[in-house]
Amino acid sequence: MRRDVFQAIADPTRRAIIGLVAHQSLNLNAVADKFDISRPAVSKHIKILTECGLLVIHRQGRDHYCQANYKKLREVEDWVNQFRTFWTNKLDALEQYLEAEKPVRTAKKKK
């Protein structure tokens, strides 16, 4: 079953794993050592992240390394940006409205 990117990032542990490997590729043991949960639990999270394409596992000798897949992370960024644009426009409009109303409110207070 192919998992959804948003399903994967819904979990705080998975977001933390992505944050760890976003800066550098880490082997599975190094990732597991950063968490106070069992190694099988960390492996399950890594499996979910791999299934949805947010992580790529590559082998180097005996070790397996986790690496972030930035193309898939861009999918999340694009989705979030549409809301950032929407709310920025709404807040800019509110600011303009409040600035336009300021002289009216000030005049009413002086009376």
Q: In what order do the strands lie in the sheet with 26-27?
A: 26-27, 63-68, 55-60
Confidence (pLDDT) at 75 = 84
Contacts of 6 (CB under 8 A, 6+ apart): 76, 79
Is the residue at 51 inside a domain? yes
Q: How many domains would you assign to the chain? A: 1
Q: How many residues does the chain have?
A: 111
Please give the share of the chain, as a percent, with pLDDT higher than 90: 68
pLDDT value of residue 103 = 74
Residue at 26 is within a domain: yes
Average pLDDT in the chain = 89
What pLDDT, on the 0 to 100 scale, is given for residue 74?
87
- Answer whether residue 85 is part of any domain: no
Q: Give the pLDDT confidence of 53-69 residue by residue, as tens digits.
A: 999 999 999 999 999 99
Say how far apart CA 78 and CA 81 lie, in whole Å.
5
Q: Is the pLDDT reported for residue 1 higher than 60?
A: no
Rounded to 10°, the helix 12-23/39-51 angle is 80
What's the CATH code of the domain at 40?
1.10.10.10
Share of the chain above pLDDT 70, in %: 91
Residue 50, H or E segment? helix 39-51
Tell me whether residue 96 is in a domain. Answer: no
Degrees to nearest 5, angle at CA 28 with 39 and 79? 100
**Per the domain annotation, does 92 fall within a domain?**
no
For residue range 24-40, list pLDDT tens digits in order: 999 999 999 999 999 99
Whole domain around residue 25: which residue ranges?
A: 5-71
pLDDT score of 88 more than 90: yes
C-alpha distances in angstroms, 2 versus 5, 45, 53, 72, 92? 9, 14, 9, 13, 40
Is 33 within the bounds of a domain?
A: yes
Domain assignment present for residue 101? The answer is: no
Is residue 102 domain-resident? no
